[in-house]
Structure formats: structure tokens, C-alpha cells
Amino acid sequence: MHKESKIKLSILLNISNMSKSTYFFEINKIDKDDKNNDIIEEIRTIFENSKRNYGVRRVYHVLKNRDYLINHKKVQRIMKLNNFSARKHAQKYHSYQGTVGAVAKNLIKRDFKIDSPNMKWTTDISQFSTSFGKCYLSPLMDMFNDEIIAYDLSLKANFNQIERMLNDAKFDCKDVSKLIIHSDQGWQYQNPRYVEKLKNFNIKQSMSRKGNCYDNSIMESFFGIMKNEMFYGHENEYKSFAEFKKVVEEYIYYYNNERIKEKTGWKSPVQFRLNHEIIV
């Protein structure tokens, strides 16, 4: 009987083109995971709390922040074995309608690095197609820590939306004396009312070159992250604008206060800004 078992194993290994050492290595790996249920559950919790969006690097750095001593490759193996992975998609909205007003110079020139808050902000508009129709998100982001400073979600991409976003930014409560706000050449940002609003607070206006998405890639990146993490695959789940607005509000709070990234030293945008304020 023992001999017959050996024969069956050898046949199996031959068919699968696997060496005996590889076979026992894989078996032992499963045994090791059985002995590490606590860390597996911690990784599972981190992954689920991130709405199943964190990859290996972010999970690893969350564990480090929680003082776990674990190898990056082990995190990778556990996540692969448990199928903790996210999807990638893309969707775009274009507001460019030619030259309909003032076109500002590109003052940013793809220099997205900055060592203080309220020096360089960026804005753009993105479209979301849901079961109840289309809606549009217009945020303002601080390039210093990628924090969303203000935003407006609307069923219509009109200038009233831009005004609400600018009012939400509360310029009069911040030191914006050195601030540049960068955008593409969308009609909203060429509008005289937008230009005048920035001038009233002595804010400099900057625009990307025509048709060059890389000039505002930092905002493009935010839209991609947001849609991958809370929208794609759930489009038909949102039955009303009010329901979707609540989900967007929750996501932006999560993005600002909880979601870690490499740029901010594996801290959330708000954590990074608060640490900077303490040091300064």
C-alpha cells in the first residue's frame, strides 16, 4: 500500500512537471500559514477595511505602522493565497471646448513637489455614470499632501458647481498669499467669474497645455484611485443621487484621513499635514 502511494505521487509529479522538492515546499507553506492565523486575520482586516483596495505595499506598511515584524514577501504570499487583489479600470470626462475665455500660463510645469501646504493646488472635473444618470465631481487638491481641500458633487457640470467648490475652500480662512491653483483648459476655468474669484484673493492661476493630461496627472491619478476603489463594479448599486453623494462624502473622508500612500511616508494626507505643522 505504501509503495502504491509513492507510485501515485510520482505519476502526479510527472504529469504536473513538478519536482518533489517543490511539492513538499508548497505543502510546508500551507502548514506555515495554518500556524499564523493571527497575522492572516490581521491582513484580512486591513484589506477589508480598505474596501478591498490595498495592495501588498500598503498592507505591509500598515502592519509596520502597527509594529508587526513581518517580511514583505510573506505579506505578498498570504495575500496571493487568499486572493486579496483589486481590479483596475479607467474612465474620463473632458470639459475642453476650445478657447472661450482667458487661458492662463502653465506655472506648474509638472513640478508637483512642494514643501508646504497652500502653495500649489489643483482642480479638475470627473464624470460618474450611474443607474440614476450622470453626475460630476469637482475637487480641489493640495499638491503638498494630496489632501482634498474642497469639492462639489453635482448632477450638472455647470459654473454653479465651480462656485460652490470655491466657496467650500474658504479662502478667507487660509493663508493663500502664495497659492497657485492649476487646472486644465476646461471652459469652467476660462470663465471670467472663475478668473475674478481667484484674483480677488490674489491667487495665481495656472493651466495645463491644451490636450496634455500629464500636466495635471496628479489629479488624474486621484480620479483613477477613487473610481477603482469605490465606483467600478458598483455603478448599478447607487439608486439615487443622495445615496451616491453620501458614499462620495465617506470616501473622501477616508481618502483624507485614513488612506496611506508612499508620497506621504505611508501616512494619510491629514496625518502628514499635521506632522508638518508640528515640526514647523
How many Cβ atoms are within 10 Å of 128's Cβ, its own excluded?
A: 20
Q: Between 239 and 79, name the one with better pLDDT.
A: 239
Q: What is the mean pLDDT of residues 218-231?
A: 93
pLDDT reading at 4 higher than 70? no
pLDDT reading at 200 higher than 80? yes
- State the pLDDT at residue 58: 82
Q: What is the mean pLDDT of residues 170-197?
A: 94
Share of the chain above pLDDT 90, in %: 53
β-strand 133-142 against 147-154: which pairing, if any? antiparallel
Residue 99 banded pLDDT, cuts 50, 70, 90: low
Residue 18 banded pLDDT, cuts 50, 70, 90: confident
- State the pLDDT at residue 7: 52
- State the pLDDT at residue 279: 82
Share of the chain above pLDDT 70, in %: 84
DSSP string for residues in the chain: -HHHHHHHHHHHHHHHT--HHHHHHHHHHHHHHHTTHHHHHHHHHHHHHTTS---HHHHHHHHHHTT----HHHHHHHHHHTT--------------S-SS-----SSTT----SSTTSEEEE--EEEEETTEEEEEEEEEETTTTEEEEEEEESS-SHHHHHHHHHHH-GGGS--TT-EEEE-S-HHHHSHHHHHHHHHTTPEEEEPPTT-GGGGHHHHHHHHHHHHHHTTT-GGG--SHHHHHHHHHHHHHHHHHT--BGGGTSB-HHHHHHHHHHH-
The domain spans of the chain are 2-81, 120-279
Residue 90 banded pLDDT, cuts 50, 70, 90: very low
Amino acid at 269: P
- State the pLDDT at residue 87: 56
Residue 84 banded pLDDT, cuts 50, 70, 90: confident
Min mean pLDDT across 28-32, 51-55, 65-69, 140-144 is at: 28-32
Q: Tell me the C-alpha distance between 137 and 245, whole Å.
A: 10
Q: What is the mean pLDDT of residues 153-166?
A: 96
Q: What is the pLDDT of residues 237-279, one digit of tens each?
A: 999 999 999 999 999 999 999 999 999 999 999 999 999 988 8
Q: What is the mean pLDDT of residues 17-38?
A: 66
Residue 1 banded pLDDT, cuts 50, 70, 90: very low
Q: What is the mean pLDDT of residues 226-243?
A: 92
Q: What is the mean pLDDT of residues 112-138?
A: 94
Architecture of domain 120-279: 2-Layer Sandwich (3.30)
